[in-house]
Every structure is written in structure tokens, then in C-alpha cells.
């Protein structure tokens, strides 16, 4: 292959890379904006003065023998949710986070963004929280659409993360070529 043909081929690859990079950037701009903003918020969640992620409170005892049963604590959490937030909210549990070292049990609900922290030994309400970090995470990974449309197996999350992951990979490859390609062309010109 002659030097001239080689340079033409390199220039063509550079043009194609630029077009892919520009088109994908324009098409996916809003999604990258969401991912970057929510990613920043999630990275800083523990350093926002309890605005995004509430601090885990401490109960009276770390000795599990002194604690109420999980069933009793669950009943208390459901009653707090109904009495303090709304009697119409779902009481379906997403997870129960037992923090033995803090003497606290956290109840996180599946169908909304409320959480309840109880003292493990007394059942006293330590904190009633809006779980903003969970909402931000759902926006970040696309699972918010699965919640809105009540889908099973998280198809929106899988499609969204696949598209965004492949796009980021493509941006990396084309961005590298946009940086390296001109250097290579100048080098071969000499």
C-alpha cells in the first residue's frame, strides 16, 4: 500500500470516528447528563449533611439477646409508616438492614422511598427518612422506569445500562482515535 493510500485510509477512519463520536454525543447527551449528575450525587451522598443519605442512628444496646424480635420490630415499623407518613402506602419490605454494632434496625420499603430506623432493643423510632439516595440510584441505573411501569426482571434497567455501557465504550474508542489518529498521521507524514 502506498503512503498516500495509507494516509487516505487513516483520514477516513478519523472522519468515521468523528462522525460516530458526534452523532452518539448528540443522541445520548441527556442520558449522559443524567448519569453524570446522579453519579456525582451518589459519590457524595455520605457527605451531604444527611440531605441525600440519612445518617444511621444508634440504639441503646448492641447485644442481640436484649433486642426485640424482627417480627415485633417489623410491626412497629409498619405502624410508624402508617401513622407518620400515610396509611395508604405499601408496607412491602425491600430489605431489613440490621446494624448490630449500632443497636439499630433499618426497614426499607419496596414500593416507595421511605425508610424507618428503630432501636433494636426498645423498638423506639430513631429516624424516619426519605431515601433520596435510593431514588437517585434508580434514576442513575434506569430502574426508575421499571418501578414506574411495574415490570419484572428489570428490562428497562438492563436495556438502559447496556446501551449506556456500550456507548461509553464506543466513546472511549472513538475518543482515543480522535486523539491518536492525527498524531499518527503527522508521524507518517514525516
Quickly list DSSP for 48-112: STTSSSPPPP--S---GGGSPPHHHHHHHHHHHHHHHT-TTS---EEEEEEEGGGTEEEEEESSS
**Model pTM?**
0.82
Count of domains for the chain: 2
pLDDT at 160 over 80: yes
Judged by phi (left if over 0) then psi (alpha if -120 to 50, else beta), residue 103 lies in: left
* H/E run at residue 187: helix 155-189
Percent residues over pLDDT 70 in the chain:
98
pLDDT at 75 over 70: yes
**Are residue 123 and residue 59 in the same domain, yes or no?**
yes
| Residue pLDDT, tens place only, 87-107 | 999 999 999 999 999 999 999
d(C-alpha 175, C-alpha 182), whole Å: 12
Q: What is the domain extent for residue 109?
A: 55-130
d(C-alpha 180, C-alpha 90), whole Å: 55
pLDDT at 181 over 90: no
**Are residue 59 and residue 85 in the same domain, yes or no?**
yes
Mean pLDDT rounded to a whole number for the chain: 93
Which residue's C-alpha cell is 415485633? 72
**Are residue 84 and residue 123 in the same domain, yes or no?**
yes
Q: Is 181 within a domain?
A: yes
Backbone phi and psi for residue 117, each to the nearest 5 degrees, phi listed first: -105, 125
Amino acid at each position: 500500500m502506498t503512503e498516500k493510500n495509507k494516509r487516505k485510509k487513516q483520514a477516513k477512519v478519523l472522519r468515521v470516528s468523528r462522525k460516530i463520536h458526534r452523532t452518539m454525543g448528540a443522541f445520548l447527551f441527556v442520558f449522559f447528563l443524567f448519569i453524570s449528575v446522579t453519579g456525582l450525587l451518589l459519590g457524595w451522598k455520605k457527605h451531604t449533611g444527611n440531605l441525600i443519605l440519612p445518617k444511621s442512628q444508634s440504639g441503646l444496646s448492641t447485644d442481640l439477646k436484649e433486642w426485640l424480635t424482627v417480627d415485633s420490630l417489623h410491626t412497629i415499623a409498619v405502624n410508624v409508616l402508617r401513622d407518620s407518613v400515610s396509611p395508604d402506602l405499601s408496607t412491602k419490605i425491600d430489605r431489613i438492614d440490621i446494624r448490630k454494632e449500632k443497636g439499630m434496625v433499618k426497614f426499607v420499603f419496596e414500593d416507595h422511598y421511605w425508610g424507618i430506623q428503630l432501636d433494636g432493643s426498645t423498638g423506639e423510632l430513631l429516624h424516619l427518612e426519605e431515601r433520596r439516595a435510593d431514588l437517585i440510584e434508580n434514576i442513575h441505573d434506569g430502574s426508575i422506569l421499571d418501578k414506574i411501569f411495574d415490570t419484572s426482571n428489570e428490562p428497562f434497567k438492563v436495556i438502559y445500562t447496556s446501551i449506556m455501557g456500550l456507548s461509553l465504550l464506543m466513546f472511549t474508542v472513538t475518543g482515543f482515535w480522535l486523539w491518536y489518529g492525527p498524531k499518527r498521521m503527522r508521524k507518517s507524514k514525516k
